[in-house]
Amino acid sequence: MTHILKMLAQRILLGLLTLFAISLIIFLAVSMLPGDAAEAILGQAATPETVAALRKQLGLDLPPHIRYLDWLGGILQGDFGTSIGNGREINEVLGTRVYNTIFLALFAASIAVPLALFCGILAALYRNSLYDRTVNVVTLSSISTPEFFVAYILLLLISVKAGWLPSLSNVRLDTTFAEHLEKTLLPALVLTLVSMAHMMRMTRAAIINLLANAYIEMAALKGMKRFRIIVHHALPNAWAPIVNVVVINLAYLIVGVIVVEVVFVYPGLGQYLVDAVQRRDMPVVQACCLIFAATYVLLNLIADILSILTNPRLLHPK
């Protein structure tokens, strides 16, 4: 137990250090962008006095290290600052945006994870069959295609041609849960197609790797059905790599939704980030980037912890 706690503490400390380094990179990258944010907001007709007053109001006249420490100190207190575009507190908008993005990611994961596990188990069960080759071709084709292209193809076929689902995912605060599901089903299908290939192929590879073990052969010699051998004997021992790739893909579903949200005009964190970039609203850009980075680091940390807990060799080291 002490070994596990020490390993978990090392992972958590490494995650915090990584997040600190990412915050520094985000701040430096935004600070080094060409142009002046105050001039971009006021326009070319602004006088130097007006630009200087706005720079002082935004704190742009302070040294970079002071601005970074002020920004980092505010984040540690739960304050992401004020939006330059509309003057609203960023915290007021982030709650709804983060909820919408997490809702879409979990909705896509609820479709992709069971489907990937089922297809991966069947691919291992019928290895080198027509089904196995067909599923591999389809999944590799979907993962090799950019998200926006898959989104536009499904948008054309399902929304424009068939008219089954709405083309825009314009959810609001008063949208019911059923309407939210309906309006996010199409972007969830796009995320499912581009994310399930990793999980399916990892499930297939992990199970096939275990099928050559002696205890699997003994179970087959006892006359057990092949599907029962895979589900009850091979799959439990293959959980470590499968859980790892599932959590990593969940991180992709949350962090990689920017393109999908823009295509479907979905009011999530990705759309909020794109709008802020267009308006040069740098506090919002920094806040969104840091939330995406923190989400990715946290889910990678969860993947490491689950890999430790599902691996007997790490749980009981010699």
Same domain (yes/no): 200, 270: yes
For the segment 125-171, what is each residue's pLDDT rounded down to a tens digit? 788 888 888 888 887 787 788 888 888 888 888 888 888 888 888 88
How many domains would you assign to the chain?
2
* Contact status, residue 257 vs residue 101, Cβ threshold 8 Å: yes
Confidence of residue 43 (pLDDT cuts 50, 70, 90): low
Please tell me whether residues 157 and 99 are part of one structural domain. Answer: yes
- What type of residue is 85? G
Domain identity same for 99 and 176: yes
List Cα–Cα distances, 250 to 88, 91, 277, in angstroms. 31, 24, 25
Residue 82 φ then ψ, to 5°: -120, 140
Instruction: Name the residue among 121, 114, 152 with its Cα closest to residue 135.
Output: 121
In angstroms, rounded to a whole number, what is the distance separating the alpha carbons of residues 168 and 160?
Answer: 11
Answer yes or no: do 169 and 308 share one domain: yes
Rounded Cα gap, residues 249 and 110, in angstroms: 12
Given the structure tokens 């059923």, which residue do they identify? 178
Same domain, 42 and 137: no
What share of the chain in percent tops pLDDT 70?
A: 90
Shared domain for 67 and 129, answered yes or no, is no
Same domain flag for 289 and 187: yes
Residue 147, amino acid: E
Answer yes or no: is 90 within a domain.
Answer: no
Buried/exposed code over 49-81 (b: 16+ C-beta within 10 A; e: otherwise): eebeebbeebebeeeeeebbeebeeebeeeebb
Burial class of residue 46, CB neighbours in 10 A (0-12, 13-18, 19+):
middle
CATH number at residue 285: 1.10.3720.10
Cα diameter, the chain: 87
Tokens of 146: 């950019």
Q: 315: pLDDT confidence band, cut at 50, 70 and 90?
A: low
Percent of the chain with pLDDT over 90: 0
Residue pLDDT, tens place only, 188-218: 888 888 888 878 888 888 878 777 777 777 8
Together in a domain, 70 and 162: no
